[in-house]
């Protein structure tokens, strides 16, 4: 097992990211000749894919699928910096308020048609149009307008200057779809990505094949990619051990030692920015009372939760999704674990006798149901009688998330500070599962987006984190590590703290 | 002959009547479920107006009886509607999954019938002796072990030797296909085998003690003929009934086993539907299962009819 | 006796029961020559059937035979499986008591006969088929080709027994064991079967060991007879001698118990309850005092009942008009399926008549028993045929007898009811200690007595008896009939007595109603049954009664001890 | 007379006694042992996560450091209590309906039987899942589901026994003697039916245990952290290679409980059969 701590975002990287209006496109190493692809790679997932339309995907395994089939204008390098994707180059003539992206020529969709700027405009508007009810509507940044001045240029106009815009386009909602092939996106998706859709057997596997006309010369190297779903843990493990699969996307942390024992397998564990908030709906009782939220925060021993759920494979968090590795990390502290203080807050709020509450958690995402079980006795110590309700992940997304009062959610990290805070905590945010609407936080987040001065921005984001730590709607007890396993012969797949999987350069040897 | 046809017809009519009755039951039950189909289809970010519009388009605003009519009419035409969660028509998926499950269930049923009757007969012939005790004891353990326990233990012991999950289409090679079936079939077989063996044993003991077997013995027939021709033939009757009853159990067992072994069959589809409150899919899956059960009962009746001349004649 | 086909000497048959053993047969000896029929007679539990099964070498796992058992010079007790395979079904055949359970329900009659032919005689499928049909014809089954293809359940009891006989004789054995082959059959059917057996014996020179509980049957068929009681031979000798001049007291009692067609007799009462030791009979007036003067108690007018099943109508009875006067005993006679039980059920309100009505004291009775007020229900009671089904196995005699007393307010408290129950038991000659017994602790005759006591508990005017003695041994039968008669005399009870046994009719009834295929074919005094101008069916019925040889040589009057 | 039958009876009684003893051991273990246990079923220990069985933790600990033995024993308590309640209620309701239907026959009987046909056409587990989705999970929902599953089956069996008993002569005799229909049902028929109901209840009880566990396994039965055998096995399935002992405890619990109930049921059945044999053997 190697622990690769190098590939996390650092402050230095962030500065580089902001560094210039124009980032020159690094030319692709031309020496590589398009070799005939070889090998079949099967990646295992615990969950099964529900949607393949990138505008509507909500879970990180789906992000992996769309990342393989589609391309974005930009993509992230190993250091999470945006580098050219379908856009060869980009610039902002007015310091970040509007952005021009120049499309690469000769890119073709899987059905043969060439990529045009209109496709990009169409793809963005699909997400942004409120009528489509895309979950990513508020996650693409403060876009006002998207236009195509010519066939190979796309122009984004923003509400104000927004430095991280090229990075934000790397996510799932920034995928470019063919505007003439959207009706069947969930059945037979068509993109420009390295692999083409072959077959999707729901609940079993998604089979993709090499896109021979991929715009990156010589890539991809693999013939076929399968995303296979294994609801049973033992089965997933056994499949990897027997060579049925070559990669296990996400290993539950408690099993890292076991999987590491497999002889043909290499396990990589890195700190990730993924987190599992205990969400409190702040628009309805009991959590509309900030004192109750604070009582809950003080009742929970974050250190304990981290030790039980992650067995130490992560770091303690302070109720904000900004990880210590972030350039905008503010060293804030949530109210400390103090049962007496928590009880006092409860009685101040008129709940000295406590109250019953249902806590929802999925049993299909490692850590969620465990977190629920670990905090149950802690909350019961201050009189909140917890009834745990475990639900499968798909139903969690449909019925619990953004609906129930109290639940354990599950998030992978986001590349930009804006994405790490705005969608969750702004009152209009796409992922505001708390229905949190704090005018001050809204104002700070809006202001920080537009603020170009780095230290002023850091100050604004620091204030947000402070506010969230003190009486925010989420208890974020930890950032978990991310562990993934591959057979030793698999190379060229970078391990991303965001749990993304880039298969362009993947190859199987031996 | 006419009376046989008559009985077949009556039973077929009953089967159809039961199926209709069950479909009403399923429809009513799903109507009671929380959750809104239109909301399911449009997702969490849909506006109330859009939901209402879709409800009108789908006819969800009509009275329940009208909805039932169009739903049932659709089923008769082979149209089970569209799954809101998967956003695809249900029928093709249902048929594919059903096929996978039938392979699993069919193989298990054949094994169970074959081994169960054989072991039951052997135990009955060795009644009270060591072999009988061992088999009876083992069957007691068998009926006490639910599939998910058996399955988990099989996974524990066979992980790395046999595939413990998934499905391989037969086109990928017979062995690959079979190897994926071994453990699920074993798990299903174990619990049912015990039931069938016990019934076969008891009815065989009863048959062996019957006057007609005594007649056969005193006719001087060789033991093999007495056992296989005279006793077994009659002992099969209650055994067939129990195998028929076990089909109902099997369907439930398939659900669990498919989950344990991630086998893409009707059972897992049902669990998916139920867990996700995919109402049209729940309706389709449960009704299909009920249909299989009813068909199995009908088939059992027919086999019973064929084996039992007493029912056949006037 | 070197020419004996079968010779049995000092045969003991024991059954293991736990650690001890019960001797069912204790030192029995007999010989049987080819072409001879020897009868073994005894009541249930006498061990008579065990002899037959010992000869066939089939006593079951718990049974063990010792002594000497030789068939055609072969020692049967030292026979191995291979040896039995050469004997059973080939040289020895067997005919069973209940043909419907002795035949395999899953195969056709013909297949089951042909099976033995093919196995033992090495016949081809076709030849075996031909031979089987031949035999079906020889046992006088109509349309043997059709019968060949029938399944056992499609044949009547008489037809089945012929088929079983054909099966036993088809392989041309030297010895056939017949274990009560006519028990449960109608008298007319029985008579035909007995004729068949005698005929087959004459034609094939087979030796037959005939086991039966019915002295009259044995008397008609056999040359020699052994009488068994509790595992011992109590008497043996030529059939006529044993039956007309019995010497053993048990045989005497048995002979005395046989209902007589010509005389009405009573057994002298004994104290043991099971009739043992009572060997004396007293003749009663042939026809007791007529009750023409008594008012009519029960009347059925044009009673009819039709069953609908699968769209077909079956007429169980039609236009049945019967009346029963108070204190009178009326016999309702008919073979199974003649509709006599349907009439009884209609009278009791257990079956709804399709037509006609039932009057009690001239007033119409509601059709269903549940619509009849308790006061009406009280007046008609029932005693059923099968002693096992007539009592609730989960209730003690006390619990059973208590109910009518409490329902009809004859007793107000359970203590009072218990006292009356004891009296009822006494009136049916059962000790008070029986109050706490469960039915399975009683014998058949005792159960029938309890059933009668229950009926008496309601203080009825009429008791309908549905073949109350047909399932009982002949000696027990006589005591139960005696009891009925006594109750009639003491309490002025009326009886509607359903039976197929004319001997029983003679013993109990004053008038007789004969039913044939659902309708009445004869009504009149019991004497009129035996008149020269009786209905042909009645004549046939009388002719079929076994014991003709026995009857022809009536024994001199058995003196009263 | 029939020595073999006699031996069978004695063996059945022995089996029954053994079964009762086994069931007794399970019950004592499940209901009394928690008081003696050094560990609580829900107490987590960060120092003993996934530790194998040893002197302290007889069956090891789970992924949250909870004692598997304590959880098995406590899980048995809730499962068995729920199974008893559900069986009693389901079989009780079903048997009552079946008795009335069998005795009264006619339209009500037909309607009841058709309804039960339709309900029984749905496999038990699927019906249970439907109920759980409609009503929500939790003990009350499980109870409802099992009652719905058991009642029609119990009604059918009772009805068929009643139909057989009602044909017997003593039932007619009771009516003739003057008993009301209710009285006939209660005094004459019920005593002859209840042994069958008892055997059915026994079979159902073992099935209830299996069903509750299966629902727990599917994640829609008992909710965590309450220990439940099925739930524990599904939790353990994730760690089956790392900590197989997580499933040994609950699996053993299920198997022991169901086996002992089955032995008792077999013994009862044999004993009733023996009594029937005795009744007929006397003639």
| DSSP state for residue C45 in the 8-state scheme | T
Q: B261-305: per-residue pLDDT in tens?
A: 888 899 989 988 887 778 889 899 999 999 998 898 888 888 888
Percent of chain A topping pLDDT 90: 47
CATH number for the region C4-91+173-256 comes to 3.40.50.300
> Is C15 touching B (CB cutoff 8 A)?
no
Q: How many Å apart are CA D82 and CA D210, to the nearest integer?
A: 12
**Which residue in the block uniquely carries the two structure tokens 């006292």?**
C419
**Which residue in the block uniquely carries the two structure tokens 């796992």?**
C61
Instruction: With residue C11 as reference, give the H or E element that holds it.
Output: strand C6-17
Question: A264 exposed, middle or buried (CB, 10 Å; 0-12, 13-18, 19+)?
Answer: middle
> What's the pLDDT score for residue C279?
53
Contact D4 C61 (CB under 8 A): yes
- The 3 state secondary structure assigned to chain D is CCHHHHHHHHHHHHHHHHHHHHHHHHHHHHHCHHHHCCCCCCCCCHHHCCCCCCCCCCCCECCCCCEHHHHHHHHHHHHHHHHHHHHHHHHHHHHHHHHHHHHHCHHHHHHHHHHHHHHHCCCHHHHHHHHHHHHCCCHHHHHHHHHHHHHHHHHHHHHHHHHHHHCCHHHHHHHHHCCCHHHHHHHHHHHHHHHHHHHHHHHHHHHHHHHHHHHHHHCCCCCCCCCCHHHHHHHHHCCCCCCCHHHHHHHHHHHHHHHHHHHHHHHHHHHHHHHHHHHHHCC
Q: C220-230: per-residue pLDDT in tens?
A: 888 899 999 98
Contact D242 A389 (CB under 8 A): no
> What's the pLDDT score for residue C285?
58
Enumerate the residues of chain B whose CB falls inside 8 A of the CB of residue D259. 140-141, 144
Contact D65 A308 (CB under 8 A): yes
Per mean pLDDT, which of A220-224, C488-492, D54-58 is the most reliable?
Answer: A220-224
Q: Coil, strand, or helix at residue C232?
A: strand
> Is D239 touching A (CB cutoff 8 A)?
yes
Which of C62, C102, C174 to mutate to test binding with chain B, by most B CBs within 10 Å of its CB? Answer: C102
Q: How many Å apart are CA A152 and CA D139, to the nearest integer?
A: 62
Q: D85-108: per-residue pLDDT in tens?
A: 999 999 999 999 899 888 887 787
Report whether A280 contacts A293 (CB < 8 A). yes
Contact A133 B166 (CB under 8 A): no
Domain ranges across chain B: 99-269
Contact A388 D223 (CB under 8 A): yes
Q: How many Å apart are CA A498 and CA A270, to the nearest integer?
A: 10
Q: Coil, strand, or helix at residue C364?
A: strand
How many other C-beta atoms are found inside a 10 Å radius of the C-beta of residue A99?
A: 25
pLDDT band at C291 (very low <50, low <70, confident <90, very high): low
> What's the pLDDT score for residue A9?
38
Among B220, D239, A396, which residue's Cα sits nearest to residue C83? B220
**Which residue in the block uniquely carries the two structure tokens 């056409």?**
D121
Helix, strand, coil tally for chain C in percent (to 5): 40, 25, 35
Residues 6+ apart with CB under 8 A from C558: C252, C255, C256, C279, C280, C281
Contact B215 C87 (CB under 8 A): no
> Is C165 touching B (CB cutoff 8 A)?
no
> What's the pLDDT score for residue C548?
66
For the cut 50, the answer to whether the pLDDT of residue C272 exceeds it is no
> What's the pLDDT score for residue A88?
92
Chain C's closest residue to D193, CA to CA, is C394
> What's the pLDDT score for residue B128?
81
CB-CB: which of D122, D206, D210 is closest to B22? Answer: D122
How many other C-beta atoms are found inside a 10 Å radius of the C-beta of residue D55?
A: 5
Domain ranges across chain A: 13-24+49-188, 273-481
> What's the pLDDT score for residue C556?
40
CB-CB: which of A254, A376, A377 is closest to D63? Answer: A254
Q: How many Å apart are CA A11 and CA A466, to the nearest integer?
A: 19
Chain D's closest residue to A365, CA to CA, is D238
| DSSP state for residue C478 in the 8-state scheme | H
Contact B17 D114 (CB under 8 A): yes
For residue C331, is the peptide bond before it cis, meaning its omega torsion is within 30 degrees of 0?
no
> What's the pLDDT score for residue C288?
54
Enumerate the residues of chain D whose CB falls inside 8 A of the CB of residue A394. none
**Which residue in the block uniquely carries the two structure tokens 């001239």?**
C362
Question: D261 exposed, middle or buried (CB, 10 Å; 0-12, 13-18, 19+)?
Answer: buried
CB-CB: which of A133, A238, A392 is closest to B165? Answer: A238
Chains near D (3 or more Cβ pairs under 8 Å): A, B, C
> Is D238 touching A (CB cutoff 8 A)?
yes
CB-CB: which of A366, A370, A389 is closest to D64? Answer: A370
Among C62, D50, D45, which residue's Cα sits nearest to residue A374? D45
Interior CA angle at C368 toward C367 and C369, to 5°? Answer: 125
Please report, in angstroms and rounded to a whole number, the separation of the first and last CA atoms in chain C. Answer: 40
CATH number for the region B99-269 comes to 1.10.3720.10
Enumerate the residues of chain B whose CB falls inside 8 A of the CB of residue D256. 144
Q: How many Å apart are CA B7 and CA A13, to the nearest integer?
A: 82
Contact D49 A234 (CB under 8 A): no
Q: B71-80: per-residue pLDDT in tens?
A: 888 888 888 8
Is A467 or C531 the better-scoring residue by pLDDT?
Answer: A467
Can you name the CATH fold of A13-24+49-188? Dipeptide-binding Protein; domain 1 (3.90.76)
Residues 6+ apart with CB under 8 A from A65: A49, A52, A57, A206, A227
> What's the pLDDT score for residue C273?
45
Among D112, D132, D266, D115, which residue's Cα sits nearest to residue D199? D266
Domain ranges across chain C: 4-91+173-256, 102-172, 289-550
Residues 6+ apart with CB under 8 A from C112: C103, C104, C163, C167
> What's the pLDDT score for residue A479?
94
Can you name the CATH fold of A273-481? Dipeptide-binding Protein; domain 3 (3.10.105)
Q: At residue C355, what are phi and psi to the nearest 5 degrees?
A: -140, 160
Contact B47 A237 (CB under 8 A): no
Q: At residue C89, what are phi and psi to the nearest 5 degrees?
A: 75, -20
Enumerate the residues of chain B whose CB falls inside 8 A of the CB of residue C153. 309-310, 313
Q: How many Å apart are CA C293 and CA C295, to the nearest integer?
A: 6
> What's the pLDDT score for residue A48?
77
Chain C's closest residue to D181, CA to CA, is C370
> What's the pLDDT score for residue D213?
92
The stretch D239-244 carries a mean pLDDT of 84
> What's the pLDDT score for residue C280?
57
Instruction: Show the low-confidence residues of chain A (pLDDT under 70).
Output: 1-38, 510
Q: At residue B302, what are phi and psi to the nearest 5 degrees?
A: -65, -40
CB-CB: which of A234, A370, A387 is closest to D241? Answer: A234
Percent of chain D topping pLDDT 90: 20
CB-CB: which of B210, B211, B219 is closest to C89? Answer: B219
How many other C-beta atoms are found inside a 10 Å radius of the C-beta of residue A267?
A: 21
Q: Coil, strand, or helix at residue C559?
A: coil
For the cut 90, the answer to whether the pLDDT of residue C427 exceeds it is no
> Is D61 touching A (CB cutoff 8 A)?
no
> What's the pLDDT score for residue D266?
81
Enumerate the residues of chain D whose CB falls inside 8 A of the CB of residue C384. 169, 172-173
> Is C120 touching B (CB cutoff 8 A)?
yes
**What class has domain C289-550?**
alpha beta
Of B10-19, C468-477, D266-275, the poorest mean pLDDT is in D266-275
For the cut 50, the answer to whether the pLDDT of residue C340 exceeds it is yes
How many other C-beta atoms are found inside a 10 Å radius of the C-beta of residue C326?
A: 17
Enumerate the residues of chain A whose CB falls inside 8 A of the CB of residue D65. 308
Q: Coil, strand, or helix at residue A474?
A: strand
Contact A255 D50 (CB under 8 A): no
Q: A199-210: per-residue pLDDT in tens?
A: 988 778 899 999
Instruction: Show the low-confidence residues of chain B (pLDDT under 70).
Output: 1-2, 34-37, 39-47, 312-314
Contact B268 A237 (CB under 8 A): no
CB-CB: which of C88, C102, C103 is closest to B220? Answer: C88
| Cα separations in angstroms, C15 against B215, C63, C549 | 21, 4, 37
Among B234, B267, B313, which residue's Cα sits nearest to residue B98? B267
In chain D, which among 96-135 make CB contacts under 8 A with chain A?
Answer: none
Q: Do chain B and chain D touch with ≥3 beta carbon pairs under 8 Å?
A: yes
Chains near B (3 or more Cβ pairs under 8 Å): A, C, D
- Is the sign of the CA dihedral A280, A284, A289, A295 positive or negative? negative
Please give, rounded to a whole number of angstroms, the shortest distance from the CA of B171 to a CA of chain D. 31
> What's the pLDDT score for residue B142?
85
Of C313-317, C511-515, D102-106, the poorest mean pLDDT is in D102-106
pLDDT band at C555 (very low <50, low <70, confident <90, very high): very low
Strand locations in C96-241 (E): 175-179, 207-212, 224-229, 232-238
Report whether D16 contacts D275 (CB < 8 A). no
Strand locations in A112-264 (E): 143-150, 153-158, 195-201, 205-210, 224-229, 247-248
Q: How many Å apart are CA C408 and CA C458, to the nearest integer?
A: 7
Domains, in order of start, for chain D? 14-48+55-282 (1.10.3720.10)
In chain A, which among 106-125 make CB contacts under 8 A with chain B?
Answer: none
Percent of chain C topping pLDDT 90: 35
Cα within 13 Å of Cα(A346), Cβ side = 22
> Is B10 touching C (CB cutoff 8 A)?
no
Phi-psi region of D65 (alpha: psi -120 to 50; beta: other; left: phi over 0): left
């Amino acid at each position: 097992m190697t622990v690769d701590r190098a590939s996390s975002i650092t402050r230095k990287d962030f500065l580089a990211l902001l560094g210039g209006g124009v980032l020159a496109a690094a030319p692709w190493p031309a020496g590589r000749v398009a070799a005939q692809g070889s090998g079949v790679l099967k990646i295992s997932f615990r969950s099964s894919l529900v949607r393949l339309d990138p505008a509507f995907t909500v879970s990180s395994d789906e992000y992996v699928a769309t990342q393989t089939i589609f391309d974005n204008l930009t993509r992230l390098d190993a250091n999470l910096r945006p580098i050219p994707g379908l856009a060869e180059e980009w610039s902002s003539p007015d310091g970040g308020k509007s952005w021009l992206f120049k499309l690469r020529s000769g890119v073709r969709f899987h059905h043969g048609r060439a990529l045009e700027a209109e496709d990009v405009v169409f793809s963005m508007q699909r997400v942004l149009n409120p009528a489509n009810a895309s979950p990513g509507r508020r996650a693409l940044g403060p876009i006002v307008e998207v236009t195509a001045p010519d066939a190979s240029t796309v122009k984004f106009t923003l509400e104000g200057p927004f430095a991280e815009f090229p990075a934000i386009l790397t996510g799932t909602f920034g995928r470019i779809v063919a505007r003439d092939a959207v009706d069947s996106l969930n059945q037979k998706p068509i993109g420009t990505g390295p692999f083409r859709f072959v077959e999707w057997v729901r609940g079993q596997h998604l089979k993709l094949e090499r896109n021979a006309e991929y715009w990156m010369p010589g890539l991809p190297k693999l013939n076929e990619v399968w995303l296979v779903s294994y609801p049973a843990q033992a089965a997933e493990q056994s499949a990897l051990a027997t060579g049925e699969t070559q990669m296990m996307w996400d290993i539950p942390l408690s099993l890292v030692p076991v999987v590491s024992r497999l002889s043909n397998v290499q396990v990589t564990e890195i700190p990730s920015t993924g987190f599992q908030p205990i969400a409190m709906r702040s628009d309805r009782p009991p959590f509309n009372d900030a004192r109750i939220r604070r009582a809950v925060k003080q009742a929970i021993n974050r250190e304990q939760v981290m030790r039980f759920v992650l067995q130490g494979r992560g770091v303690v968090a302070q109720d904000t999704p900004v990880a210590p590795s972030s350039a905008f990390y503010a060293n804030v502290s949530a109210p400390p674990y103090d049962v007496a203080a928590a009880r006092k807050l409860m009685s101040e709020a008129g709940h000295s006798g406590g109250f019953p509450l249902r806590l929802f958690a999925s049993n299909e995402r490692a850590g969620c149901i465990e977190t629920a079980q670990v905090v149950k006795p802690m909350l019961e110590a201050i009189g909140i009688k917890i009834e745990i309700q475990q639900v499968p992940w798909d139903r969690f997304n449909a019925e619990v998330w953004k609906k129930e009062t109290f639940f354990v959610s599950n998030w992978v990290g986001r590349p930009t500070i804006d994405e790490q805070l705005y969608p969750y905590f702004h009152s209009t945010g796409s992922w505001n599962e708390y229905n949190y609407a704090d005018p001050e936080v809204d104002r700070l987040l809006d202001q920080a987006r537009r603020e170009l001065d780095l230290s002023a921005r850091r100050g604004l984001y620091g204030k947000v984190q402070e506010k969230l730590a003190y009486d925010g709607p989420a208890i974020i007890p930890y950032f978990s590590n991310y562990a993934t396993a591959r057979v030793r012969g698999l190379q060229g797949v970078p391990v991303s703290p965001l749990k993304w999987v880039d298969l362009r350069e993947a190859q199987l040897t031996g | 002959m006419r009376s046989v046809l008559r009985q077949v017809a009556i039973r077929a009519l009953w089967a159809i009547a039961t199926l209709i009755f069950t479909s009403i039951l399923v429809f009513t039950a799903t109507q009671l479920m929380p959750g809104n189909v239109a909301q399911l289809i449009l997702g969490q970010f849909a506006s109330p107006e859009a939901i209402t519009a879709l409800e009108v388009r789908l006819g969800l605003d009509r009275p329940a009886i009208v909805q039932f009519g169009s739903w049932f009419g659709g089923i008769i035409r082979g149209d089970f509607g569209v799954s809101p969660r998967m956003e695809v028509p249900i029928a093709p998926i249902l048929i594919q999954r059903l096929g996978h499950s039938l392979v699993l269930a069919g193989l298990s049923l054949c094994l169970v019938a074959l081994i169960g009757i054989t072991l039951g007969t052997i135990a009955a012939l060795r009644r009270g002796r060591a072999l009988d005790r061992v088999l009876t004891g083992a069957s007691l353990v068998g009926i006490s072990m639910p599939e998910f326990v058996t399955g988990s233990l099989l996974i524990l012991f066979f992980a790395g030797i046999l595939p413990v999950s998934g499905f391989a289409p037969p086109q990928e090679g017979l062995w690959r296909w079979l190897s994926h079936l071994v453990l699920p079939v074993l798990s299903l077989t174990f619990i049912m085998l015990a039931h069938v063996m016990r019934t076969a044993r008891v009815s065989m003991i009863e048959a062996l003690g019957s006057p007609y077997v005594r007649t056969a013995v005193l006719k001087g027939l060789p033991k093999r003929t007495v056992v296989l021709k005279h006793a077994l033939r009659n002992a099969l009757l209650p055994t067939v009934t129990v195998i028929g009853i076990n089909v109902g159990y099997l369907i439930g067992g398939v659900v669990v086993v498919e989950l344990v072994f991630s086998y893409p069959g009707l059972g897992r589809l049902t669990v998916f539907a139920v867990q996700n409150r995919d109402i049209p899919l729940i309706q389709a899956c449960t009704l299909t299962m009920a249909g299989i059960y009813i068909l199995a009962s009908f088939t059992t009746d027919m086999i019973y009819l064929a084996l039992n001349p007493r029912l056949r004649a006037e | 006796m070197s020419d004996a086909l079968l010779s049995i000497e000092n045969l003991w048959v024991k059954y293991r029961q736990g650690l001890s053993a019960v001797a069912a047969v204790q030192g029995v000896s007999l010989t049987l020559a080819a072409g001879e029929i020897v009868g073994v007679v005894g009541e249930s539990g006498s061990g008579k059937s065990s002899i037959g099964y010992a000869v066939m070498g089939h006593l079951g796992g718990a049974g063990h035979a010792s002594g000497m058992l030789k068939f055609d010079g072969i020692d049967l007790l030292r026979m191995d499986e291979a040896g039995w395979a050469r004997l059973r079904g080939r040289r020895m055949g067997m005919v069973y008591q209940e043909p419907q359970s002795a035949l395999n329900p899953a195969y056709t009659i013909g297949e089951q006969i042909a099976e033995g032919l093919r196995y033992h005689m090495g016949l081809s499928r076709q030849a075996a088929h031909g031979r089987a049909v031949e035999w079906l014809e020889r046992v006088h089954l109509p349309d043997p080709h059709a019968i060949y293809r029938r399944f056992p359940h499609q044949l009547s009891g008489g037809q089945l027994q012929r088929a079983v006989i054909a099966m036993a004789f088809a392989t041309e054995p030297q010895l056939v064991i017949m274990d009560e082959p006519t028990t449960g059959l109608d008298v007319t059917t029985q008579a035909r079967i007995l004729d068949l057996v005698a005929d087959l014996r004459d034609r094939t020179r087979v030796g037959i060991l005939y086991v039966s509980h019915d002295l009259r049957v044995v008397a008609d068929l056999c040359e020699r007879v052994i009488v068994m009681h509790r595992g011992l031979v109590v008497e043996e000798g030529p059939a006529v001698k044993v039956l007309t001049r019995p010497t053993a007291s048990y045989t005497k009692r048995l002979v005395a118990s046989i209902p007589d067609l010509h005389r009405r007799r009573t057994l002298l009462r004994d104290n043991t309850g099971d009739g043992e030791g009572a060997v004396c009979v007293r003749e009663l007036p042939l026809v007791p005092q007529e009750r023409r003067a008594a008012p009519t108690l029960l009347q059925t007018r044009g009673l009819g009942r039709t069953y609908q099943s699968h769209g077909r109508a079956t007429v169980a009875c039609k236009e049945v008009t019967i009346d029963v006067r108070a204190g009178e005993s009326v016999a309702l006679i008919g073979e199974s399926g003649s509709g006599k039980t349907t009439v009884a059920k209609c009278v009791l309100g257990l079956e709804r008549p399709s037509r006609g009505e039932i009057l009690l004291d001239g007033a119409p009775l509601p059709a269903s028993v549940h619509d009849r007020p308790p006061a009406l229900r009280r007046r008609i009671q029932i005693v059923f045929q099968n002693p096992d089904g007539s009592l609730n196995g989960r209730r003690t005699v006390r619990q059973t007898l208590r109910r009518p007393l409490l329902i009809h307010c004859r007793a107000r408290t359970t203590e009072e009811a218990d006292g009356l129950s004891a009296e009822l038991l006494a009136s049916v000659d059962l000790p008070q200690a029986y109050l706490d017994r469960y039915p399975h602790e009683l014998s058949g005759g005792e159960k029938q007595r309890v059933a009668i006591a229950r009926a008496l508990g309601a203080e009825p005017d009429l008791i309908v008896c549905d073949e109350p003695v047909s399932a009982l041994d002949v000696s027990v039968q006589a005591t139960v009939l005696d009891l009925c008669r006594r109750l009639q005399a003491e309490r002025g009870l009326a009886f509607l007595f359903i039976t197929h046994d004319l001997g029983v009719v003679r013993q109990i009834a004053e008038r007789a109603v004969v039913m044939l295929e659902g309708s009445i074919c004869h009504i009149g005094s019991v004497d009129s049954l035996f008149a020269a101008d009786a209905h042909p069916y009645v004549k046939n019925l009388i002719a079929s009664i076994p014991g003709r040889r026995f009857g022809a040589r009536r024994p001199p009057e058995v003196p009263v001890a | 007379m029939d020595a073999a039958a006699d031996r069978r009876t004695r063996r059945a009684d022995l089996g029954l006694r053994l079964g009762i003893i086994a069931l007794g051991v399970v019950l004592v273990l499940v209901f009394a042992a928690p008081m003696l246990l050094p560990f609580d079923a829900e107490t987590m220990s960060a120092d003993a996560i996934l530790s194998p069985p040893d002197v302290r933790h007889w069956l090891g600990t789970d992924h949250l450091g909870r004692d598997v033995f304590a959880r098995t024993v406590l899980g048995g308590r809730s499962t068995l209590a729920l199974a008893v309640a559900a069986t009693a209620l389901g079989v009780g309701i079903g048997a009552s309906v079946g008795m009335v239907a069998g005795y009264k026959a006619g339209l009500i009987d037909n309607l009841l039987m058709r309804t039960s046909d339709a309900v029984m056409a749905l496999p038990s587990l699927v019906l249970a899942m439907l109920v759980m989705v409609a009503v929500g999970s939790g003990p009350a929902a499980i109870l409802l589901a099992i009652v719905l599953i058991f009642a029609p089956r119990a009604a059918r069996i009772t009805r068929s026994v009643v139909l057989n008993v009602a044909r017997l002569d003593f039932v007619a005799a009771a009516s003739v003697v003057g008993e009301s229909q209710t009285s006939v049902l209660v005094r004459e028929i019920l005593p002859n039916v209840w042994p069958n109901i008892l055997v059915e209840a026994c079979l159902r009880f073992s099935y209830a245990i299996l069903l509750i566990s299966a629902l727990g396994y599917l994640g829609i039965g008992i909710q965590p952290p309450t220990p439940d055998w099925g739930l524990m096995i599904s939790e353990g399935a994730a760690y089956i290679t790392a900590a197989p002992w997580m499933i040994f405890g609950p699996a053993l619990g299920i198997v022991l409980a169901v086996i002992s109930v089955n032995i008792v049921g077999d013994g009862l059945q044999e004993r009733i059969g023996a009594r029937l044999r005795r009744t007929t053997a006397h003639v």
